Amino acid sequence: MKIKFLKYLILLFCFYSCGFEKLGEWKISTLYAQKIQGTSKVLYKYDAWGGRDSNANGFVILDSSDTFKIDLQNELPFYNLSDIPNKTKIVGITHDCYNSCGSDYYKSKPIFYPMKIEKSLSNDIHIETIIYQYRGYSEKAGGLERYVFEKFAETKDSLFFYDLNDVESMNGIHLDELRIKKGEIYLLQNENKEVEKIIAKQKTLNPKTKEFIDGRTCSLTPKNKILSNKFSERGIFREVKIKENNN
């Protein structure tokens, strides 16, 4: 992908121009891990900073016996997950310009269907990347919802939250129930393993045509104490303790 390749070249140039001798010299700001069911592998989601405010963020697959480190060459070629990762395939979503970036944005017509689907292999797992036109993606991939919830329930593929209230906006709404699809869900917890917040990044696609239907992010705060072990590992990321340096 052109954008991903250019990003890599820019970062590489910056590191050497700043005197960096190796690509491992990063300060990681956030790091999450999700076990890939049926394997010894882990899917990591990270955000890190290098010299001159160079930023790297994305997904990478490592064996559970490996120590995490930034590896730009093996970064997965997408921005978000589409479904729950499994031992045979991981499906991700990204976008490219297709004549809709910058000054061409409002001159272009939004396209909500995939422009291309690329297939690759990472750590013996098949990777499928669905690429959308930038304008089509951006018009559907907005929206942040914030709720406080009373309780939750979990199934194999979803989380259900009950008695939710939007307590941050002026026109706060109440929901009796909210279903969240598993895949890209992040648990933020404190030192006592108590869940402080749940961030869910939801991308809804037509199951047959892969038309991009909706994209939203939900921030969910528990009203009562919930321990993180009340949630399963399937389709859920958990925070990883970050060392001061990642070399």
DSSP string for residues in 95-107: EE-SS-SGGGTTT
Residues 111-142: tens digit of each pLDDT: 999 999 999 999 999 999 999 999 999 999 87
The three-class DSSP label of residue 10 is helix
Q: Are 215 and 140 in contact (CB under 8 A)?
A: yes
Find the distance separating the first CA and the last CA of the chain, reported in whole Å.
27
Strand 89-96, strand 125-133: pairing: parallel
Kindly state the tokens that stand for 1: 């992908």
Residues 48-86: tens digit of each pLDDT: 998 666 889 999 999 999 999 888 899 999 999 999 999
Going by the DSSP 8-state scheme, the letter that residue 26 receives in this structure is B
pTM (2 decimals)?
0.86
Assign 3-state DSSP to the chain and report helix, strand, coil percentages, each to 5.
Answer: 15, 45, 40
